[in-house]
Protein backbone atom coordinates (compact mmCIF):
# COMPACT_ATOMS: atom_id res chain seq x y z
CA UNK A 1 0.00 0.00 0.00
CA UNK A 2 2.82 2.41 0.86
CA UNK A 3 4.49 1.68 -2.45
CA UNK A 4 1.28 2.36 -4.36
CA UNK A 5 1.00 5.84 -2.80
CA UNK A 6 4.63 6.53 -3.60
CA UNK A 7 4.18 5.43 -7.19
CA UNK A 8 1.05 7.57 -7.54
CA UNK A 9 2.81 10.65 -6.17
CA UNK A 10 5.82 10.12 -8.40
CA UNK A 11 3.56 9.65 -11.41
CA UNK A 12 1.74 12.90 -10.70
CA UNK A 13 5.06 14.70 -10.22
CA UNK A 14 6.41 13.39 -13.51
CA UNK A 15 3.25 14.42 -15.37
CA UNK A 16 3.43 17.93 -13.87
CA UNK A 17 7.08 18.28 -14.92
CA UNK A 18 6.32 17.06 -18.43
CA UNK A 19 3.47 19.53 -18.86
CA UNK A 20 5.63 22.38 -17.55
CA UNK A 21 8.38 21.46 -20.01
CA UNK A 22 5.99 21.71 -22.96
CA UNK A 23 5.87 25.51 -22.84
CA UNK A 24 7.61 27.03 -25.85
CA UNK A 25 10.61 29.24 -25.07
CA UNK A 26 10.45 32.95 -25.92
CA UNK A 27 12.02 34.23 -29.16
CA UNK A 28 15.55 35.62 -29.08
CA UNK A 29 18.11 37.24 -31.36
CA UNK A 30 20.70 34.75 -32.58
CA UNK A 31 24.24 36.07 -32.06
CA UNK A 32 26.51 33.82 -34.10
CA UNK A 33 29.91 33.41 -32.47
CA UNK A 34 28.63 34.88 -29.22
CA UNK A 35 30.81 32.54 -27.16
CA UNK A 36 33.72 32.27 -29.59
CA UNK A 37 36.62 34.00 -27.85
CA UNK A 38 38.45 34.42 -31.17
CA UNK A 39 35.56 36.41 -32.62
CA UNK A 40 35.87 40.18 -32.94
CA UNK A 41 32.30 40.50 -31.64
CA UNK A 42 33.29 38.68 -28.45
CA UNK A 43 36.16 41.06 -27.77
CA UNK A 44 34.66 44.37 -28.89
CA UNK A 45 30.91 43.82 -28.97
CA UNK A 46 28.84 43.98 -32.15
CA UNK A 47 29.62 47.26 -33.91
CA UNK A 48 27.41 46.92 -36.96
CA UNK A 49 24.58 44.65 -38.04
CA UNK A 50 23.78 43.83 -41.63
CA UNK A 51 21.16 41.25 -40.65
CA UNK A 52 19.24 39.98 -37.63
CA UNK A 53 18.12 36.40 -37.10
CA UNK A 54 15.34 35.91 -34.57
CA UNK A 55 14.92 32.30 -33.44
CA UNK A 56 11.47 31.23 -32.32
CA UNK A 57 9.04 28.34 -32.02
CA UNK A 58 5.76 28.56 -33.91
CA UNK A 59 3.63 28.04 -30.81
CA UNK A 60 5.70 30.28 -28.54
CA UNK A 61 5.17 33.71 -30.10
CA UNK A 62 3.48 35.84 -32.73
CA UNK A 63 4.81 37.29 -35.96
CA UNK A 64 4.37 40.76 -34.51
CA UNK A 65 6.59 39.96 -31.51
CA UNK A 66 9.31 38.55 -33.78
CA UNK A 67 9.18 41.62 -36.04
CA UNK A 68 9.30 43.99 -33.07
CA UNK A 69 12.33 42.17 -31.69
CA UNK A 70 14.14 42.53 -35.04
CA UNK A 71 13.18 46.21 -35.24
CA UNK A 72 14.51 46.85 -31.74
CA UNK A 73 17.80 45.14 -32.53
CA UNK A 74 18.29 47.07 -35.79
CA UNK A 75 17.31 50.31 -34.03
CA UNK A 76 20.36 49.90 -31.77
CA UNK A 77 22.39 50.70 -34.90
CA UNK A 78 20.03 53.43 -36.19
CA UNK A 79 18.72 51.05 -38.86
CA UNK A 80 15.36 49.62 -39.89
CA UNK A 81 14.51 45.91 -40.08
CA UNK A 82 13.28 44.56 -43.43
CA UNK A 83 12.09 40.94 -43.59
CA UNK A 84 14.10 38.79 -46.01
CA UNK A 85 13.31 35.10 -45.41
CA UNK A 86 12.77 32.25 -42.97
CA UNK A 87 15.25 29.47 -42.37
CA UNK A 88 15.35 26.15 -40.53
CA UNK A 89 19.15 25.86 -40.69
CA UNK A 90 20.49 28.29 -38.08
CA UNK A 91 18.56 27.89 -34.83
CA UNK A 92 18.48 24.99 -32.35
CA UNK A 93 15.74 22.37 -32.30
CA UNK A 94 13.82 23.96 -29.41
CA UNK A 95 13.35 27.19 -31.42
CA UNK A 96 13.77 25.86 -34.96
CA UNK A 97 12.58 28.80 -37.07
CA UNK A 98 14.85 31.73 -37.89
CA UNK A 99 13.21 34.88 -39.22
CA UNK A 100 15.95 36.70 -41.11
CA UNK A 101 15.77 40.49 -41.39
CA UNK A 102 18.13 42.88 -43.15
CA UNK A 103 19.13 45.96 -41.16
CA UNK A 104 18.88 48.85 -43.61
CA UNK A 105 20.45 52.26 -42.95
CA UNK A 106 23.78 53.95 -42.24
CA UNK A 107 24.18 53.79 -38.47
CA UNK A 108 26.84 51.87 -36.57
CA UNK A 109 27.65 51.40 -32.92
CA UNK A 110 30.94 51.32 -31.03
CA UNK A 111 30.13 47.88 -29.61
CA UNK A 112 29.02 49.10 -26.20
CA UNK A 113 25.56 50.50 -27.00
CA UNK A 114 26.67 53.99 -28.06
CA UNK A 115 25.33 54.87 -31.50
CA UNK A 116 27.57 56.71 -33.96
CA UNK A 117 26.62 58.10 -37.38
Task: Tell whether 29 is covered by a domain.
Answer: yes
Q: How confident is the model at residue 18 (pLDDT cuts 50, 70, 90)?
A: low
Count of domains observed in the chain: 1
Task: Tell whether 84 is covered by a domain.
Answer: yes
Task: Tell whether 15 is covered by a domain.
Answer: no
- pLDDT, tens digit, for every residue of 70-106? 999 999 999 999 999 999 999 999 999 999 999 998 7
Residue 60, domain extent: 24-116
Task: Tell whether 14 is covered by a domain.
Answer: no
Contacts 24+ apart (CB under 8 A), 40-43: 41/111
Distance CA 88, CA 105 (A): 27
Short-list 112, 106, 93, CA closest to 45: 112
Amino acid sequence: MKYQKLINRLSVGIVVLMVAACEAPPPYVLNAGEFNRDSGAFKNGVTNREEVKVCYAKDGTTARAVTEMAQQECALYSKKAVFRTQSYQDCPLVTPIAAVYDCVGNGTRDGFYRTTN
